Amino acid sequence: MTLIYLLGALAVLVPALLVPWLATRWAPAVAASRTADRLRQAVAGLTAAFGRLGAALVVLLAGSAAVIALCWPLGEALSRLEPHVDRPVFEYVHARRVDGWADLNSFVTAIGDRYPLKWVTVVGAIALAVAWRRRRWWLPLVAMPLQFVLEQYTQQILAVVVDRGHPPTDLGTYPSGGCARVLMTFGTMLALAALVWRIPRRVRVGLLTALAVLVSVEGYTRIYAEKHWLTDVLGGWTFAILLTAVMVFAVAVADGRVRPPAQRPTTPARERVPVGT
């Protein structure tokens, strides 16, 4: 039982330490990379061709398709670990369940259910629309319900194509939807809030860290509440990060907040030297 409590503590400590480090060391390097600049060039071309909303729609559809293309083989690979990883972990947790800890985990894991997050989506959309006022007030009213629907149907596509089954105690399957819903809902809200208010960088990192801890704890509770296999949660974290990144990027494109690509110096054409001179 000590190991189970230790893993619960690690579910809090690992993202609490890792996310600030990534935000200060890794994120600036990625933003300044050549790949990021090529992505900005592609967005600039799409915006010139289809406008901001058209470009955002292309980003959302293409990005969602890419997430499915990446998470499909990942799910197939993780499903092969079921006899060697998932079932031993499930049996270990099941044999060491404590009523009080189980009740607490069952209460916390409900944060990732569709019903409460449906109301968070509605309230968040209305509150952010009021906060935006005259400046594209409709964007939160579109983005918040859209993220909810996008997560649900993208997850269902992966559940059907991978079709890996579920634990004997619940119907949860690959990928863990609770983890994805929490990150998608609150991640989109955080992105929209950052577009409305000038939030200091340290505060943004703190909010992102708190969200990462919440998603990590949600995964832990899904395992202890016996709703998912361990690898369902690992796949759910990956799926959540990728799909949320797509959604947040699409919102930034729709609001015109994507930085223009770097202007690369052009090499002047060589002057032609007349023949015979």
10-residue block means of pLDDT along the chain (277 residues)? 87 94 85 85 90 93 96 95 94 90 92 93 93 80 95 95 90 91 96 89 93 96 94 95 95 88 56 48
156 in any annotated domain: yes
Rounded to an integer, what distance in angstroms lies between the CA atom of residue 167 and that of residue 76? 16
Domain-located, residue 266 = no
Residue 3 lies in a domain: no
**175: preceding bond cis by omega (within 30 degrees):** yes
Domain assignment of residue 47, yes or no: no
The amino acid that residue 118 corresponds to is K
Predicted confidence at residue 263, as pLDDT, reads: 63
Residue 42 inside a domain? The answer is: no
d(CA 66, CA 130): 33
Q: Give the residue numbers spanning the domain of 200.
A: 55-254
Q: Alpha-carbon distance 53 to 245, whole Å?
A: 17
Distance separating alpha carbons of residues 189 and 146, to the nearest angstrom: 12
Check residue 267 and give its pLDDT. Answer: 47
**What are the residues whose beta carbons fall under 8 Å from the beta carbon of 189, sequence distance 6 or more?**
120, 124, 128, 144
Residues in contact with 231: Cβ distance below 8 Å, sequence separation at least 6, in sequence order: 78, 79, 81, 82, 85, 86, 174
Asked, for residue 111, whether it belongs to a domain, the answer is: yes
The b-or-e profile of 205-223 (16+ CB within 10 A means b, else e) is bebbbebbbbbbbbbbbbb
Q: Are 253 and 136 in contact (CB under 8 A)?
A: no
Residue 265 counted as domain residue: no
Structure tokens at 276: 């015979």
How many domains in the chain? 1
Using H for helix, E for strand and C for coil, what is the string for 141-197?
HHHHHHHHHHHHHHHHHHHHHHCCCCCCCCCCCCCCHHHHHHHHHHHHHHHHHHHHC
Are 93 and 4 within 8 A, CB to CB?
yes
Task: In the chain, count H helices and then E strands.
Answer: 10, 0
pTM for the model stands at: 0.90
Q: Is residue 34 part of a domain?
A: no
